[in-house]
Amino acid sequence: MPLIMPLTDIIIVGVTDPNRRALAMGLSRTIWAIPSVFVPYLAAMIVSNFGGINVNGIRPLYFTQILAFLLAIIFVLVMLEPLYVQRSSSQRGVEKISVVEGYRELIKSEKWLKHWLFIMAIMRFGFISMPFVPLWIVNIRGADQYLLGLMGTLSALASLLLQIPLGMLADKIGPRKFS
């Protein structure tokens, strides 16, 4: 899902009224968050059925994840048509543009986007310990798969509850220009 989110944001920006874009993104993410509330508990049940928190218990989650990603990729490749965009340069009119070309043009055209992407890439290093937090919770704090599932559910629930109100607030405040 996080891999597809930028693509959906581009589509939402292209087809939504500027005064309602953040709300549309929040609504989209809320709909996506609904299954995310139940998936951690489902994962805990799968892990329990396959032997608990160990190699054999966790392995089915990886196979399930690979299958889900492959299905999502196939769906996007089959169902997604090129976007129709309005060119603002010397070429006038509407034409088809590939998703990759759209990203390339966006990066070239937006002055501050390159800075923002660089900052976001650097910020990801701040999360370098995140893959090890569940290990710490299990090995040091003694959590089981159900507590890990509950933590994932609560995280998804918080996201679900905040997306629409924050989208409405963002639409109310409006975009700020950095020119």
Q: What is the DSSP string of the chain?
A: -TTTHHHHHHHHHHHS-GGGHHHHHHHHHHHHHHHHHHHHHHHHHHHHHTTSSSHHHHHHHHHHHHHHHHHHHHHHHHHPPPEEEE--SS--SEEEE-HHHHHHHHHHH-TTHHHHHHHHHHHHGGGTTGGGHHHHHHHTT---HHHHHHHHHHHHHHHHHHHHHHHHHHHHH------
For residue 45, what pLDDT is reported? 92
Give the domain ranges of the chain.
Answer: 5-109+144-167
Q: Which amino acid is at 147?
A: L
Lookup result for tokens 């939402």: 12
For residue 75, what pLDDT is reported? 81
Picking from 23, 18, 176, the residue whose alpha carbon sits closest to that of residue 112 is 176
For residue 179, what pLDDT is reported? 43
- Which residues of the chain are under the pLDDT cut of 50? 85-86, 178-179
For residue 48, what pLDDT is reported? 92
For residue 59, what pLDDT is reported? 92
CA atoms within 13 A on the CB side of 79: 6
Cβ–Cβ under 8 Å, residues 171 and 20:
yes
Calculate helix-pair angle for 5-15, 99-109, nearest 10 degrees: 80
